[in-house]
Amino acid sequence: MTYDAIVAGLGAMGSATAFHLAGRKGLRVLALDRLHPPHTLGSTHGGTRIIRETSFEHPRYVPLVRRAYECWRRMEAATGRRLLHITGGVFIGAEDGVFVAKSKESADIHAVPYEILSPGEIRRRFPALRPEPGTVGFFEPGAGILGPETCVQACLDYARAGGVKIRFDEPVVRWEASGRGVTVTTPRGRYRAGKLLLAAGPWMLDTLTQVGVHVTAERIVMHWFAPSGDAAPFDAARCPLALWEFGPNAAFASFPIERGEIKTTIHHGGEPTTADTVRRDVAADEIAAMRTMLARFIPGANGTHRRSAVCLYTNVRGGDFLIDAHPAHPQVLLASPCSGFGFKFASAIGELLAELLVDGKTEWDLRPFGIARLT
């Protein structure tokens, strides 16, 4: 059989693409993954991911994430599962710092509702948080969280029910493009298709480096703590998701309480690694360092350490996304390196990748995410 499209990698972007391809009648699609997603060895795990309409990275992301909100709701309706939870989010830092000033800039350009809160207002509204003097809070009421494992599972279940052939534990050993098609080889066989999407995140480093993309994988550690004492101040209404800018390129993230636990992490700043060599164990000094952050910003959360886990960011130069055709083989799409902030966009990126695979075009301007800008 010759497939219309093969999707290789079924994390955030690949599973969302499979979901949208399932809605195309008569399409023959094969979806492959080297593991059995959702799993804990890549980027798409950890129970929660942030979604926010504003973007301190660049205002151009706001229209795309607005489409993502719409697509997540469509996915919820199609799968019968709740994926998106609106909790509100507060981004805390210097008034002229990146988090506050750039979030405000993107909100003003795109008319996103927000409030600027003083330290006193933050403490009154969100009593678990301890903003430092000289900081302010940018509060976005429409921000929230997504469950990465739930989202991936829902997308894959829907795709399978819609006729997409899904194969787990089947890595792509190599692929070859010829004419207008492509041949994919795995340990189980060879498959022909008209188009191929490579969306394997940190397992794509060699492929991307070969086409000149400056790309790295980064080890990020997530921790879960049970609050010390009364958990009431930590409900989502009084302790929403929070991002704290505490230095140049340094950010601390905390999530609403879930099953009696608060998840925390440091956004970026992890050690360079690869998917095959990453250090999976979490050392005692890493837990102690997180306790220092909790004592500084959310002291009531500095209770019993429950567990820690490692995930991977796949970063390209400039901290943007990569979505482009292979420069030598236009029938091969390269996507999913999203520099640590891509999950929220997956529902919309999956939609546009499906459009590119089937129609060869999309309404979105992808030039900012092209290979030429990342070499």
Return the beta strands (E) in the chain as ranges: 2-8, 29-32, 49-51, 84-86, 89-93, 115-117, 136-140, 144-146, 165-167, 174-178, 181-186, 189-198, 215-226, 241-247, 250-254, 262-267, 272-273, 304-316, 323-326, 329-335
Active site residue 304: no
* Given 17, 44, 48, 79, the catalytic residue: 48
Active site residue 45: yes
Active site residue 267: yes
Active site residue 48: yes
* Given 67, 102, 130, 267, the catalytic residue: 267
* Given 45, 102, 130, 219, the catalytic residue: 45
The token pair at 115 is: 């409030």
Residue with tokens 């052939």: 165
Alpha helices in the chain (DSSP H): 12-22, 61-79, 103-110, 119-125, 148-161, 205-210, 284-297, 346-359
| Backbone phi and psi for residue 251, each to the nearest 5 degrees, phi listed first | -140, 140
Active site residue 344: yes
* Given 71, 151, 311, 338, the catalytic residue: 311
* Given 104, 219, 263, 305, the catalytic residue: 263
* Given 67, 130, 195, 344, the catalytic residue: 344
Residue with tokens 């309480």: 257
Active site residues: 45, 48-49, 263, 267, 311, 344
